[in-house]
Amino acid sequence: MKKSKVVVDKEFILGEVDRRIYGSFIEHLGRAVYEGIYQPESPFADEQGMRRDVIELIRQLNVPVVRYPGGNFVSGYHWEDGVGEKEKRPSRVDLAWGTIETNQFGLNEFMDWAKKAGTEAMMAVNLGTRGIEDARNIVEYCNVPGGTLYSDLRKSHGYDAPHNIKLWCLGNEMDGPWQMGHKTAEEYGRIAAEAGRIMKMTDPSIELVACGSSSYGMKSFGYWEDTVLQECYEQVDYLSLHQYYGNRDNNTPEFLANTVALDQFIASVVSICDGVRARKKQKKYINLSLDEWNVWYHSNEQDKKVERWSKVPHQLEDVYNFEDALLVAGMMITVLRHADRVKVACLAQLVNVIAPIMTSDTAAWKQTIYYPFELISNYGRGRVLHTLVQSPVYESAHGNAPFLDCVMTMDEEKETLAVFAVNKSLDEEMELTCDLRQFEGYQVKKHVVLTHEDVKAENTEEHPDTVVPRENGKSSLENGVLTAYLPDKSFHMILLQKA
C-alpha cells in the first residue's frame, strides 16, 4: 500500500473559491445547441423548445456561468442574425466548423435558457471578422435599459428589462491561425484595448477577458501574453488560457500526469501577468480565466467524416471513459490549488460536444466526467486551504508526477471541510492521512468514491450507470487525524462536518 500525507493549517488560506470556476460552455457547434439544449420537436421540450431533462441535469451540476456563443464560431458570428422574428432570421455558413447555422436559437433564447438552467452568461464578442463598434453595440443591446437604438431594438424583441451581462470575452483564441480574423499579438492587443475601452464606456460595471494562449504548446506562448497585456492591461480584468488533453498513445499514467502540465501552465501565465504588472507599476492584478478545458481526442477521426455544409452534425461527440473522469477530477483539483488567481473556468463543453451530458431523441444521460464535476462543484465551496501533498511520485514527460492529487476546501458558514483526492496508481491502494486537530468537533459525514476496474469503461444510453459514484469510502477521524483508504485508480470526495 502506498502512503501519503496531506498537511493543512486552518489559518493558511490560499484563496476564496470564486463560484465561476465551475462554469461551462455552449457553442454553436455540432449538437450542443440544436438537439442539446434546444429541440422544439422533442417530447422533453418545454413551451420554448428547451429540453427540460437537460436543464435538470445542468442544475444538478450547479453551473454558475456559461460561456456563449463560442469558441471559434464567434469569430464569424453576427449576433443580430439571432434576434427578432425567427422567420426573418438568415441561415449562414459557419466557416469555423464547415456547417450551416440557421440562427433559430440566438442571444435572447440563450438568456431565457440560462435563467431556467440557474446560470448566468459569459458573452463573447466577435473581434475576428468584426470589431470595436459591433462590440459596443451588443453591450448596448444587452445592458442599456432603454432610450437608445440597440436597447430599444431589444425591447421591440420582447425584452423590456436589460440582460445585464457582466462578464465578456474579447474574442476567442486570436493567437490561433485557424481562427477567422487571426491576429498578431500586437494587432490583437490593440483591438482588445480599444474594444474593451468602448465597451466599458457603454457599461462601466462589466468585466473583460482578454485572449491568452490557446494552449501551453503554442509557439507564441509567453510572448503572446506579454505583448497583449502591454497593450490592454488597463482595460481588462482577466486573461484566458485554454487547454485540452488526450490519451492518443494509450498511456494512462502519462495521461493522468497532465495535471502537472496544467499546474505549470497556470503558474507560468500568473508569472507573466505579474511581470507586466511590475513593469507598468500597476496596482491591479490580472486574474485568470481558464475558459476552455477538458479531455478532447476521442472524436477526432470521426469528425473528419462530417459532411461539409450540413446542419447539426454529430461533431466532437467524445464518449468519455473512466480514466477521462480521473483526469477531469485532477484538473479541477489543480484549478482549486490556484484559486488565488484562477477566478473563472469553463468546462468545454456542456451538452453533446465534448460534454458531461449526452442526449438522443429518447434520453439524456451522464457521461463519466459528469460525476467529478458535480461533486467538486457542489462541495468545493468557501475557501481553499493551502494543501501540502506528500506523495510518492512517478516519472512523466512533465517531470515527477505525484500519485496523489489532493486539495481541501473549508466552508466556514456551513462548518464543513471537503477533501478531493485522486489516487492515480493503477494497481495499488493508498493510505492518506491528515492532522486535523485544529478542526475540533468535526466528523466524517460522507465519503463518496468514483472507481472502476476498467479505465476504459464508459457510460452510454444503453448502459448509463456503468461508472457511477458510490458512498462507500473508507475513512475515519480519530484523535484529530483523518485516515482514508483510496483504492487504486479512484476519485474521492470526503466531507467532514462539525457536530
β-bridge pairing 92-94 and 99-101: antiparallel
Catalytic residue among 173, 317, 323, 458: 173
Which sign, positive or negative, has the C-alpha torsion 326, 25, 462, 320?
A: negative
User: H helices within 320-433, ranges in order?
Assistant: 322-336, 370-379
Q: Which residue spans within 348-489 are E strands per DSSP?
A: 357-359, 364-366, 383-385, 388-390, 393-396, 399-402, 404-411, 416-423, 430-435, 442-451, 474-478, 481-486
- Cβ neighbour number for residue 226 with a 10 Å cutoff: 15
Smallest CA-to-CA distance from 255 within 188, 320, 352 is with 320
Render 26-63 in DSSP notation, one character per residue: --SSTTSTBTTTB-TTSTTB-TTSBBHHHHHHHHHHT-
- Cα separation of 142 and 135, whole Å? 11
Three-point CA angle 228, 231, 237, nearest 5°: 75
SS3 of the chain: helix, strand, coil, percent, to 5: 30, 30, 45
Taking the mean position of all CA atoms in its chain, how far away is CA 137?
Answer: 27
- Cα separation of 98 and 96, whole Å? 6
Would you say 27 and 330 are in contact if contact means Cβ atoms under 8 Å apart? Answer: no
- Cα separation of 98 and 268, whole Å? 34
3-state secondary structure 189-242: HHHHHHHHHHHHHHCCCCEEEECCCCCCCCCCCCHHHHHHHHHHCCCCCEEEEE
Active-site annotation holds for 101: no
- Cα separation of 330 and 259, whole Å? 6
- Cβ neighbour number for residue 186 with a 10 Å cutoff: 11
β-bridge pairing 404-411 and 416-423: antiparallel
Catalytic residue among 80, 225, 292, 458: 292
**What does the block give as the cell for 479?**
484523535
Would you say 31 and 314 are in contact if contact means Cβ atoms under 8 Å apart? Answer: yes
Taking the mean position of all CA atoms in its chain, how far away is CA 122?
Answer: 11
- Cβ neighbour number for residue 310 with a 10 Å cutoff: 13
Question: 151: helix, coil or strand?
Answer: helix
Active-site annotation holds for 173: yes
DSSP label at residue 351? B
- Cβ neighbour number for residue 248 with a 10 Å cutoff: 10
Active site residue ranges:
173, 292
